[in-house]
Chain A
Amino acid sequence: MQQAPGPKLALNISRRAFVMACSMVIFGYFALWLLNFKDIYGWIMDDGYYFYRGTKIVENPWKLFDTWNYVHLNHLIFGTLPILLNYDIPSLTLPEFEARTGIFRGFLLLTILLHGALIALWMIILDRLRLNRLIALAAFLLFVTGPTLTFWAPLPDSRMLGLLAFLPGWLILFRLDTAHRLAIPRPWGRTAFWVGVLFSLSQSLQYTTIYIIMPVLFVYFSHAMITCRDRIGVARMALACLAGCLTVPLVTELLSAAAGVPTALGPFMTYLERWNAHRAFDTLEPPRVMWLRMFTLELGWPLCGLAVVGLAAALAGSGTRSGVDRRTLSLLAVVIVIGLCQQFFSGSQAMFRQVSVLLPFLFIFVAIGAVAVASVVPGPRARAAVAAVILVVAAIIPVRESITVFRAQRGLGEVMDWAAAAADGHRVRWLPIAWFAPGETAVRTEAELRNLDPDDLLITYFPYTFLNTYPEVEAVLNRLPPLYSRPTLYTTNAMWCETHARGSPDTRQVPVRSEARVYRVGDLLEQWPAR
């Protein structure tokens, strides 16, 4: 591969050391999640909808084209596999899922495995990119320890899952691009078609991969058109790739029609409907302002600054110290910049999950940025040491946020464990979790609550709708110290970044709504006089 002239990062590690280090991190990821899985009960929001969808599809496969007629591959494979494989994990009962809580958690378990596979795939991609391996390792660590992965790792509606099909496609495109540049004679049209198919599969896994597919196709093919003499060949490749990109949407559109779904409710129209539904609210601050706040909350100013420096260095062509060739790095930088601008200025709601497909790539530029900043220091070893220190300091904010998110992931499970242990023969009841139909263990009305045994325990987890119906209960719960409480995802900045743009209230400072809590029913009723 062509290497641009200029000094490189003096230190490097062997390929074996890189793979070993990454494998240890992957092992750590699995150990962390699987050993703590006892307390992982999910978000109980869109993960719940995905679960219900999966159960419906198992009963009737044509339900794949029901309401929310999109991300079919995700529903078809990831949604049904835990049920077909009977992943019935021993669990305490969630009111929404009752006896099926174990299967719901099997769903979460599979998602953790899929994210593990994604991390492993990302390691392979970083290896193939021929980056300086220290930079690659830094980028890998930043991705794995970041709050975004920690937030989405057990959640089946994770937008990152689309990368499972996108990354192999992108790797082939990268190879194809390099081969084309080196004028290696080969019929690349067919390969370009399969790249397109992989991209369309990734979009069927999670539609948000479109935010990286579009810039990648635009940048790679427009650059090839400008720089290659065989423009007709490039145009053929682009068309073949585009045809590949349309395969899965066309197949799903046809199958949806065959299932009797009207065109107005077909996959294509559903995407358009989603697009409209995700338009930013005028009543909230502009999306670009929100994006800046989210990036600084999730990643911190230092890391964002390094990303800007790294992108600028790559665009200016001085990112060669990373070891990868200048052209590839510059193209990748353009892709990321376009991908980010797309989000910042599209007028869509600012939800951090939408950029989660760009983050792994962005972290490469963070590491390059650290090297670029450290290049002012004389001496190669001192430079490497300074770059490492800069990265560690910059990583403090996201890693701290990530730890908070991981603790919050366990919050609901810990509260359920505690209540089960403390119930001592009495029942454990719930206030309804917002947006879901309450199960048998949840109390629906004031009358039901008053009829409970005073010694029963009451768990509250995001009782948004119940508290809106009975505001006086919220006042009581504010006064009454819980028997036990743990922070949940609703207390984290990561959750705010995902829900604020939807107009959801900021629950971070409202413990009654954001924590999972246990109360004794008698204590609650004493403070809540009958009307």
Chain B
Amino acid sequence: MIMQDCWTIARSRICCGLAAVRSRRPVLVSAVILLMVAGLWIFGRLFILAYGPAMNPILDLTVVAISSDSEADHDPSRARNLFDGRPALGRLGQAWTSAPTPPPHFVLIEFDRDYPLSSMRIYNRKETRLDALSVRVRGAFGERLVFETRGLTGIDPIEIPLDGKRIRSIRIDVLANSLNGRRRANADIGEIDFPGFRVRLADQNN
């Protein structure tokens, strides 16, 4: 009974509504269509406006920690210089230089999450050359040696293919380093970058 009453009320309301719409149907239908199109246009503009910055193909990569065998707060050559955006200049405070102890020396770079890195480039300082080094990466796949060589020379950056592996941390071991052709106890690296990524240091490293 209650349902029947509800239905009767609903029916009369629908009928009233339909009658009202019918009386001004062409105007109402046109207005609704115009409103819908205008709404879609506004949505499109807003979406494109909000969406533009998201399409930057250069992705941010956050380094949460960098450590090496010669880190000290007062050290102007600490490892955070590896990501200062100034490769190969070699001035004090713009590159990483290890302690003057016999090699090997290491740098450990940790990210905030896994990144699909295609490659990594290691830049020499202006006067120094990395003669032997190895690179290990760690991710969900475990730890893997991806690069090991001896006898590197030249000013060109050393490109290490990482094949899009999702990597959480990278450890670079410098086994031999030279300054003007002579062996040197310290290890030096001017800069490191990851093609396609803009490196951002987390606050604790800035």
Number of A-B contacts (CB under 8 A): 79
Within the complex, the shortest CB–CB distance from A380 to chain B, in Å, comes to 21
CB-nearest residue of chain A to B162: A483
Determine whether the beta carbon of B44 is less than 8 Å from that of A87: yes
Determine whether the beta carbon of A422 is less than 8 Å from that of B51: no
For B163, list chain A residues within 8 Å (CB): 481, 483-484
Instruction: Tell yes or no: A260 within 8 A of B by CB.
Output: no
In the complex the two chains form, what is the Cα distance from A178 to B8 in whole Å?
Answer: 12
In the complex the two chains form, what is the Cα distance from A179 to B6 in whole Å?
Answer: 13
Within the complex, the shortest CB–CB distance from A8 to chain B, in Å, comes to 12
Determine whether the beta carbon of B48 is less than 8 Å from that of A81: no
Given A109-B47, A421-B59, A424-B195, decide whether A483 and B52 contact each other with a Cβ distance below 8 A: no
Q: Could you name 20 residue pairs across A and B whose Cβ atoms are closer than 8 Å? A: A1-B3, A1-B4, A3-B3, A38-B51, A88-B48, A90-B48, A90-B54, A109-B47, A110-B40, A113-B40, A175-B14, A417-B57, A418-B116, A418-B196, A420-B196, A422-B118, A422-B195, A423-B195, A483-B118, A483-B163
For A424, list chain B residues within 8 Å (CB): 195-196
Lowest 7 A-B CB distances belong to which pairs? A421-B196, A484-B164, A422-B118, A420-B57, A424-B195, A90-B55, A422-B196
Within the complex, the shortest CB–CB distance from A166 to chain B, in Å, comes to 19
Determine whether the beta carbon of A421 is less than 8 Å from that of B58: yes
Indicate the size class of the contact surface on chain A.
35 or more
In the complex the two chains form, what is the Cα distance from A81 to B36 in whole Å?
Answer: 11
Within the complex, the shortest CB–CB distance from B45 to chain A, in Å, comes to 9
Instruction: Tell yes or no: A86 within 8 A of B by CB.
Output: yes
Which of A86, A184, A482 is in CB contact (< 8 Å) with B44?
A: A86
In the complex the two chains form, what is the Cα distance from A85 to B40 in whole Å?
Answer: 8
For A184, list chain B residues within 8 Å (CB): 11
The residues of B with any CB-CB pair to A shorter than 8 Å are 3-4, 6-7, 11, 14, 37, 40-41, 43-44, 47-48, 51-52, 54-55, 57-59, 116, 118-119, 163-164, 195-197
For B195, list chain A residues within 8 Å (CB): 421-424
Determine whether the beta carbon of B41 is less than 8 Å from that of A85: yes
For A91, list chain B residues within 8 Å (CB): 55
Given A3-B3, A38-B54, A421-B59, decide whether A482 and B47 contact each other with a Cβ distance below 8 A: no
Chain A 156-186 near chain B by CB (<8 Å), digits 1 or 0:
0000000000000000000100110010100
